[in-house]
Amino acid sequence: MTVVRGEEELFRRVGHLFSTVTDMACAANDLATWVAERRSEELTAAAERRSGEVRIRKIYRAGLLLDPGAAQELARIRDRFGARIRVSTEDVNETIIMDGRLVILAGDLTAGQRGYSVITQPETVQGVMSLFEAAWRSATDLAVFDAQVSEIRQLAPAVLDLLGSGVKDEAAARALGLGVRTYRRRVAELMTALGAESRFQAGVRARELGLV
């Protein structure tokens, strides 16, 4: 296992592999991955040239679908590159698996720079692959999940604002023109989409995703 600091060093070490990979599995919490940020002509051209030849599977955290712009971008990625995309309400660790031989695990930000573990040890790679496959089986297809959250997506900003303001359910329901039971159901749906177990946690995760 090799630990590298920052996207530039990671790209220097493994960026060339994106032009030869035939099977790529990814898990991400948002769209701001190191690959997306590179936007290099090399990666884009390689991906488009080999579209249809590469199996691409991506798992994203469900809260991302509450942002209309993010939902549209995921659909664009799916349609442009033929990627299969699923959505999970569980936390996911940012991971890239390439051809079942190499794993990239993203670490936490330290002093504005993220660390990445590059793993080629077969047993460890196989273990990470097993975790990804389990998450993939339990996740929901993008189109299905997108349809499920389409209504709550429209209400999400207002609901999050009301939750953050500490407004009681009765007053919040009136403000949105909803019945109290309908409002509480929408809050529960929002919490599920955010993978949150409490209203406070829903607010935290919404801020992480830039929804509030």
> Among candidates 1, 17, 30, which has minimal Cα distance to 94?
30
Strands 55-61 and 84-88, by their bridges, are: parallel
The model scores a pTM over 0.85: no
Per-residue pLDDT of the chain (212 residues; tens, 9 = 90+): 888 887 888 888 888 887 788 899 999 887 765 555 554 444 545 555 555 678 889 999 888 888 888 888 889 888 887 889 999 988 778 899 999 999 999 887 776 778 889 999 999 999 999 999 999 999 999 999 888 788 788 888 888 888 888 889 999 899 888 899 988 988 888 888 887 888 888 888 787 776 76
The 3-state DSSP class for residue 51 equals coil
What token pair was written down for 105?
A: 């695990």
Q: What domains appear along the chain, each with residue ranges and CATH number?
A: 2-138 (3.30.870.10), 145-208 (1.10.10.10)
**Residues comprising the chain, all counted:** 212
